[in-house]
Amino acid sequence: MKRSIRLLPAFLTVGTWTLLSRVFGLARDILLASYLGSGPAAQAFLVAFTLPNMFRRFFAEGAFNMAFVPMFAKRLETGDEPKEFARDALSGLVTILMGLCVVAQVFMPWLVLAMASGFQGDERFELSVHYGRIAFPYILFISVAALLSGVLNALGRFAAAAAAPVLMNITMISFLLIGDLVGGEVALWLVWAVPVAGVAQLVLVWKAAANAGYRLVPRRPRLTPELKRLAIIAGPAIIAGGVTQINLLVGRQVGSFFDGAVAWLSFADRLYQLPLGVVGIAIGIVLLPDLARKLGANDEQGSRFAVNRATEFTLALTLPATLALILIPTPLVSVLYERGEFTASDTARTALAVAIYGAGLPAFVLQKVFLPMYYVREDTRTPLRFAVYGMLVNVVVAIALAPVMGFAAAALGTTVAGWVMTLLLWNGSRSMGESVRADARLLRTLPRLILATLMMGGVLVVLEQVLSAHLQLPVWRYGALALLVAFGMATYAAAVLLTGAMTRADIRSMIRR
């Protein structure tokens, strides 16, 4: 059990802050839906906000950081000038991103067309270009913040890095409320909140890194042998990240040809991102440096224990969320979003997307466990190949079924591609030896977790029917949804104990840590 003491508290720290971030993000989207609904301004903002976040996947918590963190962690273990390596990486990253921001300002109309060509010829296009130019510099601030967060994570200091995204959502909520209060253009206030939030996040993690002894300031970039090695490792991962972004682009492009679909898909994405963020991202952030340290010390058993416990806790928290998103999407969407400009018609379409995305939730979360197993071995080519296969599946499903399913084909393509990618990653890991194989405890726990989840699902279906009338009432629906969710959680907890998936001692031990 000693190996888990370091991993589980770190996971809980990251998970708690990520939960707060997702809750505030949900609150932000509730306000956005109320003020803007699924109209042109909402769709334009969502496309503009996606642009810097798309490139963020390359340079922030995506490919660059996945390559940087293991290399930095190994230098920490060996004492091979980790601070100089981090400073060189920061200088190179800032240089690249400043150039990218300039290029994006010039070519913003073409970037918008690449994301949502269905906007061409109506007001959504001009709004998206305008909003995109304001929001795009966010990529510079958040990517530098992500590198500093990687340094903090490798040092075992997770709190500041995990807390930074909370600032993003608090800033955006504040700007939304101020915009409504002063009677201005609410969408424009929301767009300006994006770069302001990026600066706030950067300041937070920079101060935390400085307090940890890593007061990093960019200097004139230099191409050192270490940075060349970083580029070689990150290159395929960046390309793989590009493939992943093509998957997102396919969804946006399909959605842009159906009026309102960009908003429906985005609001649905927020709901399934809540458990994905709390569980998957937290596991990925904690597991990557932990595995790097263990493999650097040739600790095969420690690596196996870390991977199996990460998988176990991932599935324990993800499976019930998955079934809930599939079985009760309409009450969730209706209670959370349906007010102001967001209508019952918007609810029905968003709920459909939630159910489809929900079916892919376990796949997306497990990817956060499987990918670090490749990256700590400096193998980015294999995930790239698998990502290409997933991209092709997504393109075929989304485009081929769009004439039949409409905008929902975009969600289905994402889910199917997610499962293809996950199965390929799992199959490819089988050649890595004992360090990543399932242990007896995981094999015993998994079927019991599935049974406990099904027991919870049966209770949810019955209880939704009992509360159906109250879920439609203006005031009572909040309490009815809270009761539905709370009863589902309690049922799952009882089922976990009843099936023996976990014991009371296991749960008490987790809470105590």
In three-state form (DSSP H/G/I as H, E/B as E, the rest C), the secondary structure along 41-92 is HHHHHHHHHHHHHHHHHHHCCCHHHHHHHHHHHHHHHHCCCHHHHHHHHHHH
How far is residue 173's CA from residue 169's CA, in Å, rounded to a whole number? Answer: 6
- Both 464 and 370 in a single domain? no
297: containing domain: 2-26+52-438
Residue among 159, 160, 146, 164 at smallest CA distance from 72: 146
Residue with the bigger pLDDT between 502 and 267: it is 267
How far is residue 112's CA from residue 457's CA, in Å, rounded to a whole number? Answer: 41
Residue 329 to residues 268, 347, 353, 361, 367, Cα–Cα distance (Å): 9, 9, 9, 14, 24
Q: What own/partner pairs with CB < 8 Å and gap ≥ 24 does 14-18 have?
A: 14/158, 14/162, 14/281, 14/282, 14/285, 14/286, 15/278, 15/279, 15/282, 16/162, 17/159, 17/162, 17/163, 17/165, 17/166, 18/162, 18/165, 18/277, 18/278, 18/281, 18/282
| Most confident range, picked from 10-14, 32-36, 507-511 | 32-36
Whole-prediction pTM value?
Answer: 0.74
Give the count of domains, the chain: 2
Q: In the predicted model, is pLDDT for residue 338 greater than 70? A: yes
pLDDT value, residue 108:
95
pLDDT value, residue 6:
53
- Both 360 and 502 in a single domain? no
Task: Evaluate whether residue 365 is within a structural domain.
Answer: yes
Q: pLDDT exceeding 70 applies to what percent of the chain?
A: 86
What contacts 12, CB < 8 A, 6 or more positions away? 510, 513
DSSP letter for each residue of 250-276: HHHHHHHTSTTHHHHHHHHHHHHHHHI
- Both 487 and 427 in a single domain? no
Q: What's the mean pLDDT in 39-67?
A: 78
Q: In the predicted model, is pLDDT for residue 239 greater than 80? A: no
pLDDT value, residue 508:
63
What is the band of 511 on the pLDDT scale with cuts at 50, 70, 90?
A: very low
With residues binned 3-state (H G I as helix, E B as strand, rest as coil), the percentages for the chain, rounded to 5, are: 85, 0, 15
Task: Evaluate whether residue 342 is within a structural domain.
Answer: yes
Of 53-57, 110-114, 317-321, 363-367, the one with minimum mean pLDDT is 53-57
Q: What's the mean pLDDT in 457-466?
A: 93
User: How many C-beta atoms surround the C-beta of residue 378 within 10 A?
Assistant: 14
Residue among 361, 342, 338, 345 at smallest CA distance from 271: 361
Task: Evaluate whether residue 421 is within a structural domain.
Answer: yes
* Rg of the chain (C-alpha set): 22
Q: What's the mean pLDDT in 306-315?
A: 79
How far is residue 289's CA from residue 84's CA, in Å, rounded to a whole number? Answer: 19
* CA angle, residues 162, 415, 432, in degrees to nearest 5: 70
- Both 140 and 228 in a single domain? yes
Of 30-39, 45-54, 294-303, 420-429, the one with minimum mean pLDDT is 294-303
Mean residue pLDDT of the chain comes to: 83
- Both 203 and 112 in a single domain? yes
How far is residue 508's CA from residue 513's CA, in Å, rounded to a whole number? Answer: 9
- Both 457 and 433 in a single domain? no
Residue among 256, 193, 246, 270 at smallest CA distance from 44: 256
pLDDT value, residue 360:
92
pLDDT value, residue 206:
92
Which of 389, 415, 438 is at the close of a domain? 438
How far is residue 410's CA from residue 353's CA, in Å, rounded to a whole number? Answer: 9
Task: Evaluate whether residue 147 is within a structural domain.
Answer: yes
Q: What's the mean pLDDT in 13-42?
A: 84
pLDDT value, residue 492:
93
Which of 438, 458, 475 is at the close of a domain? 438
How far is residue 193's CA from residue 168's CA, in Å, rounded to a whole number? Answer: 8
Structure tokens, 59: 């340079």
pLDDT value, residue 80:
72
pLDDT value, residue 3:
39
| Most confident range, picked from 1-10, 60-69, 302-311, 321-330 | 321-330
- Both 426 and 513 in a single domain? no
Residue 488 to residues 352, 464, 465, Cα–Cα distance (Å): 21, 10, 14
End-to-end CA distance of the chain: 12
Residue 303 to residues 60, 377, 410, Cα–Cα distance (Å): 25, 12, 37
pLDDT value, residue 126:
93
- Both 374 and 305 in a single domain? yes
- Both 246 and 304 in a single domain? yes
- In tens, the pLDDT along 352-384 reads 999 999 999 999 888 887 887 787 777 778 888
Which of 415, 438, 461 is at the close of a domain? 438
- Both 478 and 341 in a single domain? no
Residue with the bigger pLDDT between 301 and 89: it is 89
Task: Evaluate whether residue 295 is within a structural domain.
Answer: yes
DSSP conformation class of 137: T
What contacts 151, CB < 8 A, 6 or more positions away? 72, 86, 209, 212, 214, 216
Q: In the predicted model, is pLDDT for residue 1 greater than 60? A: no
Task: Evaluate whether residue 46 is within a structural domain.
Answer: no
What contacts 141, CB < 8 A, 6 or more positions away? 195, 198, 199, 201, 202
How far is residue 185's CA from residue 174's CA, in Å, rounded to a whole number? Answer: 14
Of 28-37, 47-56, 275-284, 472-481, the one with minimum mean pLDDT is 275-284
- Both 233 and 269 in a single domain? yes
Q: What's the mean pLDDT in 458-470?
A: 92
Q: What own/partner pairs with CB < 8 Å and gap ≥ 24 does 111-117 have?
A: 111/51, 112/47, 112/48, 112/51, 114/249, 115/47, 115/50, 115/51, 115/54, 115/249, 115/252, 115/253, 115/256, 116/43, 116/47, 116/252, 116/253, 116/255, 116/256, 116/262, 117/253, 117/256
Residue with the bigger pLDDT between 258 and 220: it is 258
Task: Evaluate whether residue 31 is within a structural domain.
Answer: no
- Both 451 and 330 in a single domain? no
Q: What's the mean pLDDT in 259-266?
A: 89
Q: In the predicted model, is pLDDT for residue 73 greater than 90? A: no
Task: Evaluate whether residue 84 is within a structural domain.
Answer: yes
Residue 325 burial (C-beta neighbours within 10 Å; 0-12, 13-18, 19+)? buried
* In 328-380, alpha helices (H): 329-337, 344-359, 361-375
Q: In the predicted model, is pLDDT for residue 62 greater than 80? A: no
